[in-house]
Amino acid sequence: MTAEARRSPRRQVPDMVPVLDVMEDAVVGRLGNLSEHGMLLLASAPLHEDALYQLRFAMPQLGGDTQIDVGVHLLWSERAHAPGQAWAGFRFLTISAAHRELLRQWINAGPRG
């Protein structure tokens, strides 16, 4: 998908930010990039196409140890070069207005990807 086709700008996540599946209480991967409407995940656990997930990640870049909870829909996934990993694109279904605004500010403050 080209950047022009996306609804909103994205920013690469520079650090290793683990993403927790809240329902399974297990890390499913790490953030690749974020927009205010979705995220790219480098998944290290199996994910189900077209499934809904409740995920949580901490963004120290947003000030402090802000924990962000999101309800997401898995739109697509494809194998990564590393064995047992896959890239996965998610659309946010639920995110608090305050967290969406924090993400928007962080994305607009830095380089996009």
Give the domains, in start order, of the chain with CATH numbers. Answer: 3-105 (2.40.10.220)
The residues pairing with 26 across neighbouring beta strands, listed in sequence order, are 21
Note the pTM of the prediction, 2 decimals: 0.86
Residue 17 has pLDDT above 60, yes or no: yes
Report pLDDT for 14.
Answer: 83
| Torsion angle of C-alpha atoms 39, 41, 46, 48, degrees rounded to 10 | 20
Q: Are 12 and 111 in contact (CB under 8 A)?
A: yes
> pLDDT class for 2, splitting at 50, 70, 90?
very low
Query: Mind listing the pLDDT tens digit for each residue in 41-81?
Result: 999 999 999 999 999 999 766 666 789 999 999 999 999 99
Q: How many residues does the chain have?
A: 113
Compute CA 36 distance to the chain's CA centroid, rounded to the nearest angstrom. Answer: 10
DSSP 62: G
Residue type, 111: P
